[in-house]
């Protein structure tokens, strides 16, 4: 089974002609409310593909929390690990201007209250998990606890987003560490990144992870491990909306790794899933089934 440890947010989206200045009010479009957050996105993406998936997360006892539980259940995710209460559900307030540029304010809310104790209390889910997949929209110490509670022989996959310097214990556990260019640069630190994806992959691998995957948008991905570097091509698709593509990629990769597929092959499959996800608007709404990935 796949266990996703991470965030669940309600994305509140309003289209605007332009952003308000301080003290100003602008009128926008009708409000659209979408289930989101990297943890919730990953769990839905994996379950849509057919993975047996559980989510360990925290939402508020409110309407947004119910929306998130609903979307998880509809996708077939085991939600026994979705805890309720402690703070309002996390929210992303998103304004989109006519050129498609986003301005986003995130209120982590209940995500910030997902504790190491919550991870220890989810022992049953961790025991069943062949792969645990995490991101960084919940407290770092909670993600570190997930590594400490990993069942023997299980695998840990991390997409360090939003990026920050990582403790050695976390770096050492990653197999793989999945980063885009921005995340690679932040984790490596200023002036240490080099200039090519190959440079980033080698430098990150030297920091301790057993493997590294650098995602490159329309260029696909680069896989690095002790066996060397492998380029994974992308499919040529008409990109409509790249929101949540990275989450779909990470989820698909974690699922295939759990099925015993070698890293480069799993990444090639994940790139197809990422490509499918960019052909439709939205995040969770854009995630393909396994049949749709085959048909691409």
DSSP character at residue 76 = T
Report, in Å, the least distance between residue 37 CB and ligand ADP. 14
Q: Is 247 a catalytic residue?
A: yes
Closer to ligand ADP by CB, 203 or 293: give it.
293
Tokens of 163: 């990026």
Q: Which is nearest to 173 in space by CA: 136, 202, 144?
A: 144
Report, in Å, the least distance between residue 114 CB and ligand ADP. 21
DSSP string for 81-140: TEEE-SSPPEEEEEEE-TT--EEEEEE-GGGGG--HHHHHHTHHHHHH-SEEEE-SSS-H
Q: How far apart are CA 221 and CA 126, in angstroms?
A: 29
Closer to ligand ADP by CB, 30 or 238: give it.
238
Nearest 10 degrees: Cα torsion 6, 8, 14, 19: -40
Q: Which segments of 180-236 are extended strands (E)?
A: 211-215, 221-225, 228-232
Residues that bind ligand ADP (CB under 6 A): 180, 215-218, 220-221, 234-235, 237, 239, 242, 245-246, 249, 271, 274-275, 278
Closer to ligand ADP by CB, 60 or 176: give it.
176
Report, in Å, the least distance between residue 263 CB and ligand ADP. 14
Is residue 256 within 8 A of residue 295, CB to CB? The reply is no
Sheet with 102-107, edge to edge strand ranges = 32-36, 9-15, 90-96, 102-107
Q: 11, 78, 118, 247: which one is catalytic? A: 247
Report, in Å, the least distance between residue 295 CB and ligand ADP. 16
Closer to ligand ADP by CB, 108 or 197: give it.
197
Which residues are designated catalytic? 247
């Amino acid at each position: 089974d796949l266990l996703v440890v991470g965030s669940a947010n309600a994305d509140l989206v309003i289209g605007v002609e332009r952003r308000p200045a301080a003290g100003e009010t602008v009128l926008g479009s009708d409000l659209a409310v979408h289930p989101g957050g990297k943890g919730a996105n990953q769990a839905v993406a994996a379950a849509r593909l057919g993975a047996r998936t559980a989510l360990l997360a925290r939402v508020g006892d409110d309407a947004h929390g119910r929306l998130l539980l609903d979307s998880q259940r509809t996708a077939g995710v085991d939600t026994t690990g979705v805890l309720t209460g402690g703070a309002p559900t996390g929210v992303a307030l998103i304004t989109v201007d006519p050129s498609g540029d986003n301005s986003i304010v995130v209120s982590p809310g209940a995500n910030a209250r997902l504790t190491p104790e919550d991870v220890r209390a989810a022992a049953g889910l961790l025991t069943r998990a062949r792969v645990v997949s995490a991101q960084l929209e919940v407290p770092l110490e909670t993600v570190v606890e997930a590594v400490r509670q990993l069942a023997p022989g299980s695998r840990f996959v991390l997409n360090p987003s939003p990026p920050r310097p990582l403790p050695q214990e976390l770096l050492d556990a990653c197999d793989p560490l999945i980063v885009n260019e921005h995340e690679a640069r932040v984790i490596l630190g200023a002036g240490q990144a080099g200039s090519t994806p190959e440079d980033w992959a080698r430098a990150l691998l030297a920091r301790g992870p057993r493997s590294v995957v650098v995602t490159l948008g329309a260029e696909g991905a680069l896989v690095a491990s002790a066996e060397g570097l492998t380029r994974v091509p992308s499919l040529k698709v008409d990109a409509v909306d790249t929101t949540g593509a990275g989450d779909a990629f990470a989820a698909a990769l974690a699922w295939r790794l759990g099925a015993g597929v070698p890293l480069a092959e799993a990444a090639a499959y994940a790139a197809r899933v990422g490509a499918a996800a960019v052909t439709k608007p939205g995040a969770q709404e854009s995630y393909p089934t396994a049949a749709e990935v085959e048909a691409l």
